Amino acid sequence: MNLYCTQALQKAFGWKFQKQPAPTDPLDSWYAHLIPIGRRGLLMVILLDFRFCVVIPPPKGGDWTALEASILQRIREALLSYEIPQSAVDAYLPAGTVLEPCSSTDPSTRGSLSSVGKRVNQELSTDPDLQHLQKAINERYFYSVPTVDYGVPCVMLKLALCLKYGASLPAMELEFSLDLERYTARTPLIVPPNSTFAALHGHMQNAFRWRQAYPHAFVLLPAAHREAPALVAAEGLEEIDRMPEEQVYDERSTHLQDLLQEGDTFLYRYHSKGNWEVQARVSRILPNYPKETPVCTFWEGASPPEDVDGVPGFLNFLDITSDRKHPEYKEMMRSPGGFFYSPWTMENVNEVYHNKVYSDR
Give a yes or no: residue 215 inside a domain: yes
Are residues 289 and 264 located together in one domain of the fold? yes
Residue 180's CATH number = 3.10.290.30
Are residues 26 and 142 located together in one domain of the fold? yes
- Give the per-residue pLDDT at 280: 96
Distances (CA, A) of 358 to 86, 165, 254, 294: 20, 24, 17, 10
Are residues 131 and 274 located together in one domain of the fold? no
- How far is the C-alpha of 117 from the C-alpha of 120, rounded, in Å? 5
Q: What is the mean pLDDT of the chain?
A: 78
Q: Is residue 8 predicted with pLDDT exceeding 80?
A: no
Burial (Cβ within 10 Å: 0-12, 13-18, ≥19) of residue 108: exposed
- How far is the C-alpha of 270 from the C-alpha of 303, rounded, in Å? 14
CB atoms inside a 10 Å sphere around CB 228: 11
Give a yes or no: residue 359 inside a domain: no
| 3 state SS of 152 | coil
- With bands split at pLDDT 50, 70 and 90, how would you rate the model's confidence at 245? low
Give a yes or no: residue 361 inside a domain: no
- Give the per-residue pLDDT at 151: 66
- Give the per-residue pLDDT at 12: 67
Are residues 98 and 189 located together in one domain of the fold? no
Are residues 188 and 320 located together in one domain of the fold? yes
Are residues 158 and 178 located together in one domain of the fold? no
- Give the per-residue pLDDT at 339: 45
What average pLDDT does this structure show over 326-355? 68
Task: Report the phi/psi class of residue 360: left, alpha or beta, with left for phi > 0 and alpha for psi in -120 to 50.
Answer: alpha
Q: Which residue has the higher pLDDT, 330 or 250?
A: 250
Q: Is residue 95 predicted with pLDDT exceeding 50?
A: yes
Give a yes or no: residue 271 inside a domain: yes
Are residues 71 and 108 located together in one domain of the fold? yes
Q: Which domain holds residue 338?
A: 171-354
Give a yes or no: residue 183 inside a domain: yes
What average pLDDT does this structure show over 259-282? 92
- Give the per-residue pLDDT at 51: 84
Are residues 216 and 72 located together in one domain of the fold? no
* Strands of the sheet with 42-47, listed across from one edge: 52-56, 42-47, 29-35, 2-5, 100-103
- How far is the C-alpha of 240 from the C-alpha of 217, rounded, in Å? 7
Give a yes or no: residue 225 inside a domain: yes
- How far is the C-alpha of 181 from the C-alpha of 178, rounded, in Å? 9
Report which DSSP code applies to 226.
Answer: B
- How far is the C-alpha of 308 from the C-alpha of 191, rounded, in Å? 29
- With bands split at pLDDT 50, 70 and 90, how would you rate the model's confidence at 359? very low
- With bands split at pLDDT 50, 70 and 90, how would you rate the model's confidence at 324? confident
- Give the per-residue pLDDT at 83: 79
Q: Which residue has the higher pLDDT, 232 or 9?
A: 232
Residue ending a domain, among 165, 196, 221, is 165
- How far is the C-alpha of 338 from the C-alpha of 351, rounded, in Å? 21
Peptide bond between residue 294 and the one before it cis (omega within 30 degrees of 0): yes
Give a yes or no: residue 360 inside a domain: no
Give a yes or no: residue 273 inside a domain: yes
Are residues 53 and 82 located together in one domain of the fold? yes
Are residues 233 and 328 located together in one domain of the fold? yes
Q: Which residue has the higher pLDDT, 51 or 128?
A: 51
CB atoms inside a 10 Å sphere around CB 19: 9
- With bands split at pLDDT 50, 70 and 90, how would you rate the model's confidence at 220? very high
What average pLDDT does this structure show over 337-349? 63
- With bands split at pLDDT 50, 70 and 90, how would you rate the model's confidence at 34? confident
Q: Which residue has the higher pLDDT, 267 or 360?
A: 267
Are residues 34 and 91 located together in one domain of the fold? yes
Residue 75's CATH number = 3.30.420
- Give the per-residue pLDDT at 149: 47
| 3 state SS of 69 | helix
**% of the chain surpassing 90 pLDDT:** 17
The dihedral over CA atoms of 236, 197, 199, 271, expressed in degrees to the nearest 10, equals: -50
Q: Name the domain count of the chain.
A: 2
- Give the per-residue pLDDT at 39: 60
Are residues 189 and 147 located together in one domain of the fold? no
- With bands split at pLDDT 50, 70 and 90, how would you rate the model's confidence at 361? very low
Ranges 103-112, 181-190, 212-221, 264-273: which has the least confidence = 103-112
- Give the per-residue pLDDT at 341: 52
Closest CA to 171 of 349, 348, 299, 290: 290
- Give the per-residue pLDDT at 290: 72
- How far is the C-alpha of 138 from the C-alpha of 51, rounded, in Å? 7
Residue ending a domain, among 113, 147, 165, is 165
Residue ending a domain, among 128, 147, 165, is 165
3-state class percentages of the chain: helix first, strand second, coil last, to nearest 5: 35, 25, 40
